[in-house]
Structures are given as structure tokens and as C-alpha cells.
Amino acid sequence: MKRGLLIVLSGPSGVGKSTAVAEVMKHQPNLQFSVSATTRPMRPGETEGKSYYFMDRSRFETLRDGGELLEWAEYVGNYYGTPAAPVDEALDAGVDILLDIEPVGAMQVKEKRPEAILIFLAAPSFGELERRLTGRGDTPPDKIASRLEKAKWEYTQAPAYDYIVVSDLVERTADRIESIMKAEKCRAERQLDLLKED
Amino acid sequence: MKRGLLIVLSGPSGVGKSTAVAEVMKHQPNLQFSVSATTRPMRPGETEGKSYYFMDRSRFETLRDGGELLEWAEYVGNYYGTPAAPVDEALDAGVDILLDIEPVGAMQVKEKRPEAILIFLAAPSFGELERRLTGRGDTPPDKIASRLEKAKWEYTQAPAYDYIVVSDLVERTADRIESIMKAEKCRAERQLDLLKED
């Protein structure tokens, strides 16, 4: 059984991560989306184990302190993180798994699972990212400013990624991500079993 | 101007390199096929500068000794090699260039141009390679045996490649090679200019 690929997609807020993920998932039946754990309350329409693994703080802290999270962070008073067990189970079963997480989390995953393939989703330009955040119309100006500040820092992390994918047309963005998956499956170190005589 | 990709496709005789190259070239208008130099005589239907750069031994040796070949070898009394100048010109002009060469040559290219992307084309199994060589019907049994001996050595080189692509259905093989090209263009080190503020 060939191990699945651990793909981490990250990038600044507003760049189009969820749209890209949805498009990729349409074409990749063997790709599993990683479900995060969170301590924030469940919202209407959300499903346990599908939207998130919902849990209280003490359960989250037990997982975290037991090294059972691939990454975690706290946002506005709630914990968010990626439980390692479902990820490792998928990989062992030969299933590719995709994580859509914050850049801070991406670096934690790479540290814990060096085989992770890190993809940074970037706007065609920083100016374009600004236009996208402003254009959504659902974000107050002071939040836009703070997100752009954060994005600047996140962009400084991009050279540590394996790939930088431009988020322009969603079909093209998805095609680039899927090409990376196909190419990574062809990497020599993953193919050496082919070379045995038989 | 973004530098083109230098792609080296190699693998044992009979594995399907030329068929794969022809299929890839159909879809990739920005991909140039590298023309080799040779000292063997021109055959009917061949064109100078398209089939090969035809030249005499002393001209070839001048190029070789002047370090103007990316790789070279001698087969049954004739020299074959890849002139560096057209390759470098293409890369500088942002054009991707594809070399279809012997495994011995592939290693020479990697030494001279470490940015080269080495793809080893492998049969789905070694037994299948044997069947393909036998099945072509145009190769005498003693030649098949010696080609298989050579292929065994060539397979030992494969771990030094960046990618190992299975040569099964030609469309799938070409798609893998094209995915590798797309993915390589997204590699972080080739995309860092995207991250400048503008």
C-alpha cells in the first residue's frame, strides 16, 4: 500500500483557499479533507465530525498536551487544531489528505511531518489581495487593515513552502494544485518500488 | 523574464520515450525539443538542425573539449551529444526545453546544470519492459538480451532522478510529465518574485 500524500494548503485570508479546495475536491475522489478540532460552539447547519470536531477546552488541551495535534492556535478565545490520528489513518490507508490551515499551522505541520507538501496560495499580486479583501464588502475597514498587516507577515513565510500557487482563475488554481499532487506521486523516492525486478 | 525549465527525459531502450515526447509536444506549444549533435551520416528524410546537427568528428571534438556540450557519448563509432548553446538560449528566453537522452547523458546534464529536472521513464514492471522489447519484433534475440542487461544498470540509476514516471498508456504518461512541468513552475524558489509588494 502506497502512503497517501499529506497536502497543506495555506495562505492569507481572502486569497481564495476554500474556493480552491472545493474545486480540487470535485475532481479528486481519492482526496480527503482534514476536519479540524475546535472549542467554539457549533453553529446552525454544522455537523460534528464534518464541519469540525467540537470539544471543550479541557479535551482540546488534553489532545494538545498529549502531542495528538499536528498544529493548533487560539483565535478570539477559541482553540482550533488538526488532530493527528485521522490524518495518519488516511495516509496509512493510501488516501491523500488535504489540510486548509493558517500559515502558522502549516509550519507546525511541516515540523511534525516533514513529508508534508506545503502549498502557499498567493494572490497574483499583493495589490490584488488588497482589492479582494476590500471587494468582498463584508469586512470592516479596520479589519481589512489588520488582515493586510497579517498577510504581509504571512508572505514572508512563503519561501519556506514547497510550492507557491497563484490564485487567479479557480479552475487554473485547482489544476495547479492537482498537478502538484500528480507530480509528487511521481517523485523518485515515492516510486522506488517500481524498480524491483519481477 | 522567467527562466524556462530544463527537462531531461531518460530511461531504458524500448520503454516508450519517443512516443511520450511526441504526445507531450502536442499539448505544450511553449516546449522546445532539444536537437542533438551527431557525427553519423545524415539519412534520407532527415533535416540539418531538426533531426540532428550533423558534423564531422573534429568539429564535435572541438565542441566537446571546449565544454560546449551538456552531455555526450559514443555509440557504434559515432558521437552523439547535446550542444549547450541552443539549450541555454531557450532557457534564457523563458522557453522550456526537453531533452530525450540516454541515462548516461542525463547524469552528465545534472552535473553541469543542477537545475535540470530529471525524469526517468520506467516500464510498469521490469517483466513488462522485457515483453515490450520482445514484442516489437524488430530486435534480434541477442540484442534484446544486451538491452535488458543495459536496462538493469539503467534502473539502478533511477533513484538519482527527481521523478520516476510509469510508461503505461501514452496519454497518462504524457499527463504525468506535463503535471511535473506545471508543478515545477510552482516550486517556491521559482515563484518568489510573486511575493513582492506592488
- For chain A, domains (ranges, CATH) are 6-195 (3.40.50.300)
Q: Which residue in chain A has the smallest CA separation from B179? A: A179
Mean pLDDT in residue range B147-174: 94
What's the whole-number mean pLDDT along residues B40-49? 95
Closest CA to B35 of B104, B98, B89, B105: B98
Per-residue confidence (pLDDT) for residue A132, from 0 to 100: 86
Q: What is the pLDDT at residue B198?
A: 53
What does the block give as the cell for A125? 499580486
> What is the Cα–Cα distance from A87 to A15, expressed in whole angstroms?
25
Provide the percentage of residues in chain B whose pLDDT is more than 90. Answer: 77
Distance CA(B83)–CA(B74), nearest Å, equals: 15
The predicted pLDDT at position B130 comes to: 87
Nearest CA among B118, B21, B13, B15 for reference residue B75: B13
- Does B179 touch chain A if contact means CB atoms closer than 8 Å? yes
Q: Which chain A residue shows the shortest CA-CA distance from B164?
A: A188
Question: A90-99: per-residue pLDDT in tens?
Answer: 999 999 999 9
What number is the ipTM of this complex? 0.91
CB contact under 8 A, B197 and A126: yes
Residue B197's pLDDT is 55
Give yes or no for A191 touching B (CB within 8 A).
Answer: yes
Tell me the pLDDT tens digit for each residue of B141-157.
888 888 899 999 999 99
Q: What is the pLDDT of residue A57?
A: 97
Provide, rounded to the nearest whole percent, the portion of chain A with pLDDT above 90: 76
Q: Is the pLDDT of residue A197 over 60?
A: no
Judged by DSSP in three states, B67 sits in coil
Write the pLDDT tens digit of every residue in B116-143.
Answer: 999 999 999 888 888 888 887 777 888 8
